[in-house]
A and B are shown apart, each in its own frame.
Chain A
Amino acid sequence: MQASPYGTGVRDFREEPRVPAFRLDPLLLLATLGLVACSLYTIATATTGDIDGSPYYFLTRQAAYFGVGIVLMLILSRVDYSRFREWKAGIYVVMIGSILLVMAVGASARGSQRSIEFGFFSFQASEVGKLLLILALSAFLVDRVRRLGDRDTTSRAVLMAVLPAMLVIAQPDLGSGLVYLAIVTACLFVAGTKWTHFAALGGLAAGAIVLVLVAAPAVGVEVLKPYQMDRLTAFLDPTENPREEGYQVNQSLTAIGSGGKTGRGDLATQTKLDFLPEHHTDFVFSVVGEEFGFAGAAIVLSLFALLIWRALRILTMAKNLYGTILAGGITAMFMFQLFVNVGMTIGIMPITGITLPLISYGGSSVIVTFLALGLLQSIHAQARDAASGKGRDLAL
Chain B
Amino acid sequence: MYLDGENRRSLTPQLAFRIALIGGIALVAFGVIFFRLWYLQVLSGDQYEAKANDNRVREIKVQAPRGEVVDRDGRVLVDNRTGLAVKVTPGKLPDDRAQRMGLYRRLGRLVGASAGRIDRSVSDQLKALPYSAATVKQDVKPDVVAYLLERQKEFPGVTVERVFLRQYPHHQIGAHLFGTVGEITKEQLKDQRYRGVGLGDRVGQSGIEYQYDRFLRGKNGASRVQVDALGNLKGELAVRPPVQGRQLRLGMDLGVQKVGQEALGGARGAFAVMNVRSGGVVALGSTPSFDPNLFSKVIRARDFKRLSSEELGKPLFNRAIQGGYPTGSTFKLITSVAGLQGGIITPETVQYDGGSIQVGGVTFKNAGGAAHGAVALRQALTVSSDVFYYLIGRDANGTGDGLLIQRWAHKLGIGRPTGIDLPAETPGFLPTPKWRNKLFKKKLTDRPWSVGDNINLSVGQGDLAADPLQMAVAYSTVANGGKVLRPRLGLRIEDAGGRALQQLESPSPRRVKIKPEYRQAILEGLRGAASAPGGTSEPVFKGFPIPVAGKTGTAEKGAGRADQSWYVALAPFPNPKYVVAVTFEAGGFGADTAAPAARKILAEVFNVKGDAKKQVGSGKAY
Contact = CB atoms under 8 A, between A and B. Distances in A.
Interface of A: 80, 82-83, 85, 142, 145, 186, 189-190, 192, 251, 253-261, 264, 269-270, 273-275, 289-290, 293-294, 297-298, 301, 305, 308-309, 312, 315-316, 319-322, 324, 328, 331-332, 335, 339, 342-343, 346-348, 386, 390
Contacts of B49: 257-258, 260, 264
Contacts of B444: none
B238 to A, nearest CB: 15
Interface string B213-237: 0000000000000111110001000
B121 interface: no
Contact of A270 (B19, B55, B227): B55
Given A82-B4, A190-B15, A261-B41, 18 more contacts: A85-B2, A190-B18, A253-B40, A254-B51, A258-B49, A258-B51, A258-B52, A260-B42, A261-B45, A270-B55, A275-B228, A275-B229, A289-B41, A294-B42, A316-B15, A328-B22, A348-B32, A348-B36
B33 A342 contact: yes
Given A253-B40, A274-B228, A275-B229, A192 B52 contact: no
Contact of B56 (A261, A275, A339): A275
Contacts of A315: 19
A294 B226 contact: no
Contacts of B30: 301, 305
B46 to A, nearest CB: 8
Contacts of A298: 34, 37
A312 B23 contact: yes
Nearest to B1: A80
B8 A269 contact: no
A343 B33 contact: yes
A254 B4 contact: no
A260 B41 contact: yes
B230 to A, nearest CB: 7
Contacts of A80: 1-2
Main secondary structure on A side of the interface with B: helix
8 contacts: A82-B4, A261-B45, A273-B226, A298-B34, A316-B16, A342-B33, A346-B40, A386-B7
Nearest to A255: B52
A347 B37 CA distance: 10
A186 B40 CA distance: 31
A322 B56 contact: no
B535 to A, nearest CB: 82
A273 B228 contact: yes
Contacts of A305: 26, 30
Contacts of B16: 316
Nearest to B14: A192
Contacts, number: 142
Contacts of A319: 7-8
Contacts of B45: 257-261
A258 B53 CA distance: 9
A329 to B, nearest CB: 11
Given A80-B1, A258-B51, A258-B52, A274 B229 contact: yes
Nearest to B45: A260
B96 interface: no
Interface of B: 1-2, 4, 6-9, 11-12, 14-16, 18-19, 22-23, 25-26, 29-30, 32-34, 36-38, 40-42, 44-49, 51-53, 55-56, 226-230, 234
B2 A256 contact: no
A189 B47 contact: no
Contacts of B22: 186, 189, 312, 328, 331-332, 335
A294 B41 CA distance: 6
A269 B52 contact: yes
A258 B48 contact: yes
B37 A297 contact: yes
A343 B7 CA distance: 38
A48 to B, nearest CB: 14
Contacts of B15: 190, 192, 316, 324
B234 to A, nearest CB: 6
B44 to A, nearest CB: 5
Nearest to B4: A320
A26 B188 CA distance: 75
Interface centre among B33, B47, B53, B227 (most CB of A within 10 A): B33
A82 B1 CA distance: 9
B55 A275 contact: yes
A269 B37 contact: no
A321 B41 CA distance: 43
A256 B37 contact: yes
Contacts of A189: 18, 22
B2 to A, nearest CB: 4
Given A256-B48, A273-B234, A275-B56, A320 B7 contact: yes
A46 to B, nearest CB: 14
Interface centre among B40, B42, B44, B45 (most CB of A within 10 A): B40
